[in-house]
Structure 1
Amino acid sequence: MTPFHTSSLRVVLLGAGRVASQLGPALVQAGHQVVHIWSRTTASAEALAALLPGAQVLPSLDMASLPVADVYLLAVPDAAIPVLLAQAHFPANALVAHTSGTVPLSVFSGCPEVRGGVFYPLQTFSQGRDVDWQTVPLCIEATGPAAEELLLALGATLSRSVQRVGTPQRQSIHIAAVFACNFTNHLLGISHALLQQQALPLALLGPLLQETVEKALAYPPFTVQTGPAARHDTPTLDRHRAALAGHTQWLEIYNLLTDSIQRQGTGLPANNQGPVKL
């Protein structure tokens, strides 16, 4: 972690979606100034600006030069990043960083007039749910050491976990995050729907989910795999498949995951005590 510290920075936030709506207030709380906000939807920019003292809405990017700031953060969908970079006119030598987990640093190669960077928060963001930014890992990358130091220092005002992460590693992190977060949430959605069919709450699975996550963080997850697929419990697998017969898409997912678990290995945990049955 860099020892470099920064005072209050002037930030222009381009985007007003789920990431920006959480990042903007976090920046202000950390002592920075979000001086301007732009969004493709003006109403979204106005709603976010209303929460940030002194923030003004940029009605358009079609101007000779954007207002001067210390950092320009691009919190927009991945596909919009190259479009925005081509459209916006940043001041010479501006520090411009996107918040994407997958877009490479090389996206700035066509913008030699700016210093490009990445300011990627490894977290899921939803409207109406605040996150503890002190716990959010921030992955930093930049085209030059000075820009990188400034982004590291900015990150350190928000989070206790800030580190340099190159594009290949960041992209791998993002894929892993999709499996851990997005796919897991979809599976929980299926679990919720199955329980609702029996008038049961998803909260019933709460202790199981907590133990699953804690165990996966304590041991290599493949080594603590449990369940009928891991123990090749064919009668149970067949009963599950029969119960899912009316949900062909869910049955396909069930079969794919069962096959993946069985191909991965025996499911023996690191202590070799054998998997706990569920």
Structure 2
Amino acid sequence: MRISLVGAGRVATHLAKALHQDHEIVDIYSRSIEYAEQLAQRVSARACDQFSQMQQHIDVLVIAVSDQAINTVIQGIAEYFDDVLIAHTSGSTHIHILEQYHTRCGVLYPLQTFSLERDIDWKTTPLLIEASQDADLSLLTNIANQLSQRVYHYDSAQRLSLHLSAVFACNFTNYCYDMAKQVVDARDVDFSLLYPLMIETAHKATQHAPQTVQTGPAVRKDQNIINMHEKMLKELHRDDLKKIYHDLSDAIMNRI
């Protein structure tokens, strides 16, 4: 199929490279022509920084931009693509945002964390799809099946629940890693010593209900250790980390 993308960031880059294996990438749009050109060169596409410059004879237009920009993009682009399926890649944006301005609408949401420095294993990445029309749902299903072995038809409310869960499982977890590094850095301790622990914790969480494999002083209700840790954070002048430590410990104790 002939596919164009609006966006040249992390999601757009990974998706364009993956789609390029089986489809023709026609245009890459970005407000920054430099970013558009960088990505377009990698997928043999044309770079644009105006919607009016984009070729209209395509099969699918993918909007891969920040959530807050999707509404602005669909308002600006809908008039140029009357009979083209327009799909966004957001986990938290309702399909109605597109349906207000366009008839053929869809969602192609990859449940994954994207960094330009790392490649994505698309075959194992869940793809959540939705469409306003049955024919377009079939079209998105075909595209998704070429990318991944895990394709799911979920509506906007279900997709939002997964997006929220992903914030806890990925974004907040990564910040916990960052806080852990800040603590050992303050005592000149090698952060890499925690890698086996981090990997084992992630493995356990994928093989068991996380609640059943919770460990640590909070689950043991070991107040002496908790007090010792909070005292250390106070000595490090890290009241911000002390509060998070205290709140998480309380949450664990109340959960068990």
1:228 aligned to 217, 226, 237, which one? 217
Give the percent of matched residue pairs that are identical in Structure 1 and Structure 2. Answer: 39
Deviation at 1:176, TM superposition (A): 0.4
In structure 2, what is the Cα distance between the partners aligned to 1:49 and 1:123?
23
| Gapped regions of structure 2 (runs ≥ 5) | none
In structure 1, what is the Cα distance between the partners aligned to 2:149 and 2:80?
30
Residue 90 of structure 2 aligns with which residue? 100
Deviations 1:109-137 (A, max 9, x none): 2124x300000000000122111111111
Counterpart residue type for residue 117 of structure 1: G
**Structure 2 residue 8 is matched with structure 1 residue 16:** yes
- Structure 1 length normalisation: TM-score? 0.88
- Judge conservation of contact 1:62–1:87 (CA < 8 Å) in 2: no
Deviations 1:161-210 (A, max 9, x none): 11101111100000000000000000100111112222222221111112
Q: Tell me the SS of whatever aligns to 1:11.
A: strand
- Judge conservation of contact 2:32–2:49 (CA < 8 Å) in 1: no
Runs of 4+ in 1 over 6 A off after TM superposition: none
**Structure 2 residue 41 is matched with structure 1 residue 45:** no
Counterpart residue type for residue 110 of structure 1: Q
In structure 2, what is the Cα distance between the partners aligned to 1:191 and 1:249?
13
Alignment of structure 1 residues 158-173 onto 2, 5 Å: 158-173=147-162
Residue 3 of structure 1 aligns with which residue? none
Q: Tell me the SS of whatever aligns to 2:220.
A: coil
Counterpart residue type for residue 90 of structure 2: S
- Judge conservation of contact 2:26–2:55 (CA < 8 Å) in 1: no
Alignment of structure 1 residues 56-67 onto 2, 5 Å: 56-62=46-52, 66-67=55-56
Deviations 1:66-124 (A, max 9, x none): 52211100000001111011111232221000000000111122124x30000000000
Q: Tell me the SS of whatever aligns to 2:189.
A: coil
Aligned residues: 253
| Gapped regions of structure 1 (runs ≥ 5) | 1-8, 266-278
1:125 aligned to 108, 114, 117, which one? 114
RMSD between aligned residues: 1.3
- Judge conservation of contact 1:11–1:69 (CA < 8 Å) in 2: yes
In structure 2, what is the Cα distance between the partners aligned to 1:203 and 1:145?
49
**Structure 2 residue 210 is matched with structure 1 residue 218:** no
Deviation at 1:61, TM superposition (A): 1.4
**Structure 2 residue 196 is matched with structure 1 residue 207:** yes
Residue 253 of structure 2 aligns with which residue? 262
Alignment of structure 1 residues 178-193 onto 2, 5 Å: 178-193=167-182
- Judge conservation of contact 1:13–1:72 (CA < 8 Å) in 2: yes
1:26 aligned to 13, 18, 21, which one? 18
Residue 269 of structure 1 aligns with which residue? none
Deviations 1:246-268 (A, max 9, x none): 10111111011011101112xxx
Counterpart residue type for residue 148 of structure 1: L
2:127 aligned to 129, 138, 146, which one? 138
**Structure 2 residue 232 is matched with structure 1 residue 240:** no
In structure 2, what is the Cα distance between the partners aligned to 1:216 and 1:199?
30
Q: Tell me the SS of whatever aligns to 1:37.
A: strand
- Judge conservation of contact 2:204–2:210 (CA < 8 Å) in 1: yes
Q: Tell me the SS of whatever aligns to 2:109.
A: strand
In structure 1, what is the Cα distance between the partners aligned to 2:192 and 2:155?
39
2:146 aligned to 150, 153, 157, which one? 157
Deviations 1:219-252 (A, max 9, x none): 1111221100111101100000001111011111
Counterpart residue type for residue 251 of structure 1: K
